Every structure is written in C-alpha cells, then in structure tokens.
Chains A and B, each alone.
Chain A
Amino acid sequence: MLRAGLGAGAAAFAVAASGRARADDASPPADPDWSQSLGPGVGDRVYGHPSHFEADAIRRTVPWLTASPESSISFTPLQYQQGIITPSGLFFERYHAGRPTVDPAQHRLMIHGMVDRPLLFTMDDIKRFPSESRIHFIECPANGGMEWRAPQLNSLQFTHGMISCAEWTGVKLSTLLQEAGIKPTAKWVLAEGADGAHMARSLPLEKCLDDVLVVYGQNGEALRPEQGYPLRLVVPGWQGNVNIKWVRRLQLGDAPWFTREETSKYTELMKDGKARGFTWPIYAKSVITFPCPEMPVKGPGMYEIRGLAWSGLGKIKQVDVSLDGGVNWVRARLQGPVLPKALTKFTLEWRWDGRPALLQSRAMDETGFVQPTISELRAVRGSNGVYNNNSIQTWQVKPDGSVFNVQLA
C-alpha cells in the first residue's frame, strides 16, 4: 500500500514537472521525467490504444464524396502503416446503411435454396466448425476512382486508403455449403448482410468452394463492428463489396441475381458506352508509402523508399521502382512474408541528391500481370469507369522535399 501510494505521488509530480518540459530536455546527458518516475500501473488501460502522440494516424473521410456518412467511406492512413497488417481500428470503412449493432446471441446465418437441407446456424454453431486463419487484403474497387481524369487529392491516404489487410479467422464457406449439401444444379451463391442495406451480391459457386471464408475473427480478436461483427465473408482477392459484412443469408441458385450493387454500381462504364460487370478480382497494384504527400523528405541524404504491393490473383512476384518517371527501373526488395492475396511490403535504399524526382512503383504478380500506367488504362477503358484503377502512382518530389500527386504526359 505504502509503495503504491508513493508511486502515485511520484507520477503526479512527473506530470506537473513535464508541463515545463522543452523539446531537448530529455536528450542526453539529461535523465527525463519519465525515467525518474513511475508510470500508470497495469489495469490502467484494460483495452490498450495507441500513444496519444500518434493522434494523426486516424481514418479520414472526404466529405464532398458522398451524400451521407451512412453510405460512405473512410480511408486507412497508409502513410503510418508499418508492415502488412492494418490495425483493426484503422481498417477502412465502407457502409451502405451505417454500421449496425448486431447482437451475436441473436445473429443467425441461414443457408437455403438449391441445397439438400436448408440450415440455420447460431454463432456458437459456426465456431464449432474447423477453423482457419489467413492474411488477406480487402480493397474497395473504387480505390483511386477519383483519379481517372486527373490527380485530385494530394494525399496517399485519400488516393490509396480504401485498402487494408488483416489476419482473418473463420470457417471455410465450402465446409458450410457441404454441410447443407449442394444440389448439382447450383451455380451461384447470393450472400446477404443483416445491415439496413441488406447488402447482397451474387458469387459464382466455384469461388465459394475455392477460398472464401466465413469470418468471426480479425487480428487475433473478434471482428470489429466496422468490419461486420459478428460475421462476415472474406472473398480473397476480390473487390471489397462482395466481402459481405454482417452476413446472415446464403442462397444457392442456378443464375446470378443482378442486384443493384452488380448493375447500377460496381460496373465499369467504358468509353464506348458499354459497361463491364462481374469484374471481381483486384489486379496487381502497388504504391510508395514513403515518401508521399503526407510524409515529405527532409533534406538530401539516405532514405528507405517503402511501399505496399498486392494482387487479387496470387502472390506478388516483383516490384520495380523508378526515380525518373519511368525511364529506368530498379528491382525493389520484397520483405517477407510474401503471401497470396495479401499486402506485401517492398523497400529500396535511396540516396536523395536534393534534385526533383518522379517516384513510381510497378508491381508484377505470379501470373505475370504487370501494373499498367494510367495512360495505358485510359487508352483501353476511357475515364468513366470509376472502378479498378490499378495504375502506377507518380509522386513528384520537389527540391524542398515536398511531395505531390501528379500524372505524367
């Protein structure tokens, strides 16, 4: 008791003293306040959170983008992401009817339609099936959608932040479907959420039997409400929208349903007025996360260029970096683990001479697909497609070290 009392007194003194602190007070030879006092004890934070010095690392929104925050998007601060896992609190949000509060005790998953026996599962039932944990990214196909005509947003977070990556734990969808018994005529699965949007997407049965997970765990804990608590689909490598959150119903059928989110939205208008639909996989893409508009360079000298690459078709095989706007390229180092349909980190040592530079990264995946330039994409598709902009990003570094989002001629 006595020691605890002393400790509390010392901590209070430290707080008072730090009020007068200057920036270099803690540099050697000084021994700073935090080295000569006790911090708060265990139990002070029963659920931890980041240091208050990291307050800038938050999900941010573009207020002019959507009519209402309940059907909108927030962006992951990739400029702060260390490694390949996005902290659960920073995973980008996309809702179509706000974030529902779903009681896990009342939540049910129904499987019906072209099955031998319709089934209704509780969360307890689902957690009794064999479990599997895998690391996968989820990207909204509208990521970079504002940039088709021209660079608009001077920010890594806003040009690329509709992607995040987590370790997901759940049961294979194939296990649940086989439990219900798949009728030979079934070719499609409709997945539907319990949110107000009753978000619904048609998925080919083949993909559902391949690698889709019905997920209740995210980064070692229960799914976050923002990510579909208590249950969601993870459809590895495919556009975010089909990864139905708060999933409550799976219907098997012999044809797709052509829901609003696979006709009016999530289809790509081409320059000839025709539209592409069911363009589910995310093709290979990459971006340099340092430097970037939010993280400029501070004077000439050595730096490590860092970035993230990903492909919805498999593993990243190679990432090349250009410092001169695509004239010459250097192979970047891939930092393991290099996992299929997951973010992959790349780095390149860079001695900046203080002269203007045009930084680009270009990903290649194990299928041999190479990330295209925006001009190449525009030549084939035009600029009205909104979705699936996986083009090479150019960051312009100015002599003062500031960084801008540009597109090249």
Chain B
Amino acid sequence: MSSLHRLIAAAAMCLPLGVATAAEPPKYGLGTTPTAAQIAGWDIAVRPDGQGLPDGHGSVKDGDELFANNCAACHGTFGEGAGRYPRLAGEGKLTGDRPEQTVQTYWPFATTLFDYINRAMPFPSPHVLPPEQVYAITAYVLNFNGLVDDNFVADRNTLPMVKMPNRDGFIWTDPRPDTHDTACMTNCRAPADVKVAQTAEGKNLTPRTTGPLDTALPQ
C-alpha cells in the first residue's frame, strides 16, 4: 500500500469514531491494520471498571465443579493450597510476622481475578477455558473467600461491583526516597556497636555453588 493510500485508509478508519483532531500521518508507513477480529482475539485485559470483560456469565454453583476439575489439584478444593502451590483463600492479617496475602485479604479488585484466571490459569494449559467457565470459576473463588453469596452470578456488570476488603489498602504513588541519604565517611558509628547480629552461616539453606546444578531441598 502506498503511503498516500495508507493515509486515506487511516483517515477513513477515524471517521466513524468522529475524531475531531487531525491525526498525524504515519512517518514510516510500516505495519498493517489489524482486523477487528484480530484485535478482539488478543484484547484480553480487564480493568477494575469492567472495561475488557467479555460477554457471558457464570454462577458459583457451576464454578464449584469446574474448579474441582481444573484447579483443585494445585490449589485445594476450597483454595487452601496443595503442596507448595499458592493458597487462594485465607482470612489472616496483613500485619505481623506471617502476613496472609490472599484473594480475600489482599487483592484490591475482583476484576483482576477474572483477568488472571483467564490469561494465566489453569497453569499447565493457560487461556483455554471459555469466558462462561472463567466467570463461573471466578464466582466460586470469590465465594469460598466469603466475598459473594452462594447465588452470585459473575458477569461484566457484577464483577466490578464486588467490594474487596483491601480495596483501599494500597498506596499507588511511590513514596521513595524514604531513607536518609547520608554518606558519612569517618567515625560514622561507635566501633563497639558494630556487631554481627545474624548470619547465614550454618543455616543449611544455600544450594551448592560449585559442580552441577543443585536440585536438592534442604534437610
């Protein structure tokens, strides 16, 4: 396509959208225009306001069986986790020495759950479940976390409405630098205060760093 044709094609595409500002013409004229179907096939990202959620719906009831068949082997029947695979449920605290960061306690948006299950799960064969099933499984995961009731049906309208407990638990602007920026050069602390408080020596957690790759777990 000549760049002139491309320009006309691009202008024609803009017309139905009623764009008032004159778009800059492309400088290099490389690439092609993806079809609506091509865009739709890859455009899977979902936002908290629901933008990107597909047609369809799924219930907690349907999700129960789908989760058992597709997810429970790694995440446990009620999201309690199996082996070292992540737990999806848990109502502990976010403070203290062992904080519990789960869908219930930590995740700020229910839409992210749909987005992630759809794009990345089930782990061995991601992005194979149809939207109805992803909706149903999402509903079920929210349900065993006590976030929606048994009659909940997930769809593009209901998911953005689910109030997640930690919705306001995040600071989205970086507060750093949050330390002192002191570059003292001499007598910066009393030599007597300099003591080894803790050491990795003898902990037996470090894999071998010579010889072939060490795949052994610590005793």
A binding-site residues for B, Cβ under 8 Å:
56, 58, 60-64, 66-68, 70-71, 77, 79, 96-97, 110, 112, 116-122, 125, 128-129, 150-155, 157-158, 175, 178-181, 183-184, 190, 192, 196-198, 200, 248-249, 251, 253, 255-260, 263-264, 267, 269, 271-281, 283, 293-294, 318, 320, 324-329, 358, 362, 364, 368-370, 372, 376-377, 380-381, 384, 388, 396, 404-409
Contacts and interface: CB of A to CB of B under 8 A. Distances in A.
A122 B197 CA distance: 56
A69 to B, nearest CB: 9
15 contacts: A112-B39, A117-B23, A119-B32, A120-B34, A151-B203, A181-B26, A196-B120, A258-B47, A368-B181, A377-B179, A380-B179, A396-B196, A408-B196, A408-B197, A409-B197
Nearest to B205: A152
Contacts of A120: 31-34, 38
Given A67-B84, A259-B115, 13 more contacts: A118-B33, A120-B38, A153-B200, A158-B207, A175-B28, A179-B28, A258-B48, A269-B99, A274-B171, A276-B170, A324-B191, A327-B188, A376-B180
A50 B193 CA distance: 46
B21 interface: yes
A67 B14 contact: no
B55 interface: no
A190 B205 CA distance: 38
B5 interface: no
Contact of A370 (B32, B123, B182): B182
A200 B119 contact: yes
Pairs of residues from A and B, 9 with the lowest C-beta to C-beta distance, nearest first:
A116-B23, A372-B179, A198-B119, A260-B116, A325-B194, A273-B94, A151-B200, A119-B31, A154-B200
Contacts of A396: 196, 199
B33 A119 contact: yes
Given A121-B31, A409-B197, A154 B206 contact: yes
Contact of A272 (B95, B106, B173, B200): B95
B14 A260 contact: no
A273 B14 CA distance: 47
B28 A155 contact: no
Contacts of A327: 187-191, 194
Interface string B10-30: 100110000101011011101
Contacts of A381: 178
A198 B126 contact: yes
Contacts of A384: 99
Interface in B105-160: 106-109, 111-112, 115-116, 119-120, 123, 126-127
